[in-house]
Amino acid sequence: MKKATLSFIFLCFSMLFAGNVFAGSMVKAVQLSGDVPQHIAYTRIYDFLDELANDGIIEIRSVVKPYSRKFIAGKLYDAAERKEKLNSRQRKEVEFFLNDYALEINALEINRLPETKLTIARNENLTLAVVQPAFHYRDNYFRARITPIVGAEFQYNKNGTPASRTIGAEFQAMIGNISVWGSLRDMAFNDELLSRSQYLNNRPGYEYKESESQTANYSDSRGGIKYSTSWGSIGLVKDNVVWGDNYHGSNILSGRTPSFPMITLQLKPVSWFQLDYFHGWLVSNVIDSTRYYVENETVKHYRATNKFIAANMLTFTPVKKLNISVGNSIIYAENNVQAAYFIPIAFYKSIDHTLTKGIKSENQNSQLFFNISSRNIKHLHLYTSVFADEISFARFKPSNKETNPISYKIGAKLSNFPLPNVSLLGEYTRSNIITYKHSIPAISWASNDYNLGSYLGDNAREIYFELQYKPLRGLDLSLSYLNAVHGNEYEYLRRDQNGVKQINNIISQDFIKDKVWKNSTCEFKALYEITNNVYLGMNVTYSNIRGGKATGTAIPGEIRPENGSAQGYLDLYTPKFLQGKNFTVGGMLNIGF
């Protein structure tokens, strides 16, 4: 098994090296080095690239994130070359962002270190400054960046004042075609925790260390190493990933789970095709009774069951600005990794049948993905994404009460039309019953108990609108409205204790038969990036989050906390701080993110 894995990695490295030798003979207008991913938490740069693409200034494939810093730098450089098409605020934004990505660009006109203020030390090779707060180094062979991470955030309403602080640092280095990076964040939370695996909100998930005094902390370490060329990369990374076009949480891979390690592969051999693949090591949080440590020859400390994921996404561009993506994945729980799931372009469900049917064993958990993104109408981005756990075409018949366990999202964003610096977006998301669940907990669509897909889980729908205004460089204002509903909670029960099939009975239930949880929220946000890597933000929110009672007779597989009471569902899905009607104000100041 180890030999198969090493052979796969060696083959990919060989292909990339060969491609780099060929590409090295080509002359390019702008040369980019390194392939360090830009974390998805830096929403301002992702939103700005999206705006430029909607306006037709650049072209992007936005179905898979994170983007690499060299990709972002290249798109910013392209925008700078077309500055006559940009408005005044956009030109200033491009100049501002290019300063942060200076190490990634080798063009003669901007072959420099970032501009800084309150500089502590500076020469032709390095700079250490307070504004922007970072250490940069560059020579002909080596480039490095070290940035501090310091932040504080608070929320206040009549129910309390939860707050958090973050301390850490991030390091990035580029040596030719090899990139190495790492970061460490130590986060501490006081009062009630606002993000848990069962809570229905879009906050990042954490694996907390909690104390009896209602405080908790979390240490987040991310990093990796990549080898890249002009047309592909391979890496070993620990990071968050987002798959599926969205502006308010993806229904395929949302990136909300704690980061997990993975082997990644990205190939872009031609302008009309891109392959994204990874094989990851998830956290099952399911005890394996056969694996444990023994302390003092008496106490057993059990380990979790292994849990793995393999996924690919193939993106085709039949015409400019139209991207059609298809992909599939499998989650499996074995003692060791399966070599077949290291094949980047494969239909994993078929492979699973070959591996498990002969012994009449239960299949692993496989999924299908579809995504369409169109920016063919200037200023307008239209998109849809589909996550399918299982599809039976017979269930699409009007006479069939059974529903396919699928989730779909449709949305549109209009940028800089008819008013400059103003954007309007709308999204609708629906996830059918048991879409993200499985009868075997070890192979559910989750890691660290957090759903990998939509933060609302299954049997839920969301309507989301947002109006954005960017009056000047660095300042983003937004007003949003959210209406989300969650229906009855069902356990994925294939058969009851007598062997009677129950799954068809469950998926025959009405979509959101009872509204056991409802969220209506209106929020104003302001975010200002004072200088590169320094952010000041505030929010004012009115929310009405309430529970609902499950009615009628429970069917097999239905979960009813505290006999299905409204308060029971509310406690299950929402922290006390956000329950009921609330006016909440909050603020944050971060160096790094």
On whether residue 77 sits in a domain, the answer given is yes
Tokens 């038969």 appear where? 513
With the C-alpha atoms ordered 194, 200, 203, 209, is the resulting torsion angle positive or negative? positive
On whether residue 46 sits in a domain, the answer given is yes
pLDDT for the residue numbered 5: 47
What are the Cα distances from residue 320, in Å, to 62, 273, 375? 14, 12, 9
Beta carbons of 376 and 321 less than 8 angstroms apart: yes
List the beta strands (DSSP E) in 487-571. Answer: 489-490, 517-531, 534-547, 558-559
Can you give the residue range of the structural domain that contains 108? 31-112
DSSP string, 174-236: EETTEEEEEEEEEEEEESS-S--TT--S-SPP---EE-TTS-EEEEEEEEEEEEEETTEEEEE
On whether residue 216 sits in a domain, the answer given is no
272 three-class SS: coil
Count of domains forming the chain: 1
Helices 43-54 & 69-81 angle (0-180, nearest 10)? 40
pLDDT for the residue numbered 25: 31
Tokens 């979390």 appear where? 218
Instruction: Give me 545's structure tokens.
Output: 């989050």
pLDDT for the residue numbered 585: 98
Containing 13, the helix (H) or strand (E) segment is helix 2-23
Of the chain, the end-to-end C-alpha distance in Å amounts to 38
Rounded Cα gap, residues 457 and 315, in angstroms: 26
On whether residue 184 sits in a domain, the answer given is no
On whether residue 175 sits in a domain, the answer given is no
On whether residue 62 sits in a domain, the answer given is yes
Tokens 């075997």 appear where? 440
pLDDT for the residue numbered 18: 40
On whether residue 241 sits in a domain, the answer given is no
Sort 261 into a burial class: Cβ within 10 Å, 0-12 / 13-18 / 19+: middle
Task: Profile the chain (593 residues) by mean pLDDT over runs of 10 residues.
Answer: 46 43 37 80 96 97 96 95 96 95 68 79 88 89 93 95 95 93 93 91 89 79 94 96 97 96 97 97 93 86 94 98 98 94 96 82 90 98 96 83 93 97 98 95 96 97 98 97 96 80 87 96 97 95 95 86 87 95 96 86
Q: Looking at the whole model, is its pTM more than 0.85?
A: yes
Beta carbons of 517 and 570 less than 8 angstroms apart: yes
On whether residue 47 sits in a domain, the answer given is yes
Note the pLDDT tens digit of each residue in 234-278.
999 999 999 999 999 999 999 999 999 999 999 999 999 999 999
